[in-house]
Amino acid sequence: MTYQAPVKDMLFNMQHLADLQQVAELPGFHDAGLETAQAVLQECAKFNEDVIAPLNWEGDKYPSSFHDGKVTTTPGFKQAFKQYAAGGWQGLQHPDDFGGQGLPKTIGAACGEILNSANLSFALCPLLTDGAIEALLTAGTDEQQALYLPKMIAGEWTGTMNLTEPQAGSDLSLVRTRAEPLPDGSYKIVGTKIFITYGEHDMADNIVHLVLARVQGAPEGVKGISLFIVPKFMVHADGSLGARNDVHCVSIEHKLGIKASPTAVLQFGDRGGAIGYLVGQENRGLEYMFIMMNAARYAVGVQGISVAERAYQKAVGYARDRVQSRPVDGSMNTAAPIIHHPDVKRMLMTMRAQTEGCRALATVAAAAYDAAHKHPDAEVRKQNQAFYEFMVPLVKGYSTEMSLEVTSLGVQVHGGMGFIEETGAAQYYRDAKILTIYEGTTAIQANDLVGRKTTRDGGQGALALARQIEATEADLQASGSAHAQAMLKRLQAARVAFVDVVAFIAGQAKADPNAVYAGSVNYLMLAGKLMAGWQMARALLVAERELAAGNDAAFMQAKISTARFYADHILTRVPGLRDAIVEGAPGVTEMALESF
């Protein structure tokens, strides 16, 4: 089965949950209403279904290769990337001042999901370029922006993020790459960076590396890190390319998944010194790099949704075709497609409900991002920024962990054939694993949720979200339908569990940090299930109204059924997580280290 973008579900979320009409009233977004969203998504779907998706399996069979310092991407990638750039897709969310289309994140994120569903490995190149563009828009000088951004936004040049070194994984205080000031104001960069996605490839004319390094004499730790532009080819003042810079790929990694995406080891200054240009001020590099990381963390969460959607579609196609055994209810006298069997339906519904819940959550978060950046009222901007910041570790952490469960179920639906590579189900499972690791592991997202998003204000921001959920509970109560009442029961129990956990975390973070952080990932999973379930509750109410009005009955009924499944099978996991967090720390912390 080929991929079909879930455009209808995306538009439903935009219209009814994210209130795209309000987004379209923000300054600069006046042409970005539902009609524009529909036209953009349909065109995006067509391009990705026809051009990018067919290359996904090819990339797994014929990964990027490395020879004599050069990386050759999967056959077809280079031509597809040129089509991607020519279509203006790289510039979708970026300012029209530099050649972009200036569309809101609410629309751009949906296009990102479609691209990543079509081909996760391919999509990583534009994803990292987007992050580099964001960093330069925020911290680059006018000259740097004029020199680099038009080419990057046009898709002629790509961007990378260079943080990790052999001795410095997630602990960036250990970064040792050196930056030596030169008389002309540039810097000589010397060091090694690993795990650099699309650090070398053949799809674009230039690669703009953003590199963390230490200037001589800088303070130790993260306070002494600066950010530099190190282009693969030097760039003249008129934008033309000059000599090759001293940055070279020395190898690429052999990976479990995303095999078509070249993950490079880059050597800077091995032949005399790579030339770099300071971004912003010295010793503020980590601050600027976090701009890239936050953009990438949201985007990686969307990748989780994307691969889950692709696995779900694959599993549904197989379950419709695979004939095995008579239905247990006796409705057929012969063997039937396995989609008739209750447990197969349970697996498919688990895949569908979690994917739709996370998609709704990501869409609402994107709309908050748009309001946080564009709303004329400073207080409204502040509220939306707080909402978005709380949601980013959930979108990243929960959606990617969700994708592992969903892609594993996709293999399970296929049975023994799922274990055979030729069916394609296993690729999604293997590709999904990296999503819980790069751009900050699930534990790092959980630490962020506890430390920066919950304890910093004594849990007040989290409790404000709980009050918003209470308002949705009142709407469910007013509905009176059996599905709404079932959702009310489960949502209310999940919210109460969340409030208990927030109180525990806020109250014990300083007194017993080991107990709090022992439950941090469970807290992230609890909050993710609750916040996605909240959006599914809102979707259920909308679908009931639309169904009553006679609008798109099949879609709305399916949405109600999916929301009901989420309530009964996903939200019911939340109280157990509450118990593990509030009462389960001793089971984690008391084992003596020598007993492991």
DSSP secondary structure string for all residues of 346-408? HHHHHHHHHHHHHHHHHHHHHHHHHHHHH-S-HHHHHHHHHHHHHHHHHHHHHHHHHHHHHHH
Share of the chain above pLDDT 90, in %: 95
Mean pLDDT of the chain: 97
pLDDT reported for residue 486: 98
For the chain, report the end-to-end CA distance as a whole number of angstroms.
Answer: 46
pLDDT over threshold 80, residue 1: no
pLDDT over threshold 90, residue 170: no
pLDDT digits over 564-591, tens only?
999 999 999 999 999 999 999 999 999 9
Catalytic residue among 200, 401, 439, 473: 439
d(CA 453, CA 471): 22
Q: Report whether 357 contacts 532 (CB < 8 A).
A: yes
pLDDT over threshold 80, residue 150: yes
pLDDT band of 273, cuts 50, 70, 90: confident
Residue 162 phi, psi dihedral angles, 5° rounding: -110, 95
Can you tell me which residue has the tokens 């075709």? Answer: 321
Provide the CA 358 distance to its chain's centre, in angstroms.
Answer: 10
pLDDT reported for residue 270: 87
pLDDT over threshold 70, residue 27: yes
- Residue 327 makes CB contacts below 8 A (sequence gap 6+) with 336, 340, 341
pLDDT digits over 343-382, tens only?
999 999 999 999 999 999 999 999 999 999 999 999 999 9
Share of the chain above pLDDT 70, in %: 100
pLDDT digits over 38-91, tens only?
999 999 999 999 999 999 999 999 999 999 999 999 999 999 999 999 999 999
Cβ burial 184-202 (10 Å sphere, 16+ → b, else e)? eebbbbbbbbbbbbbbbbe
309 flagged as catalytic: no
pLDDT digits over 425-459, tens only?
999 999 999 999 999 999 999 999 999 999 999 99
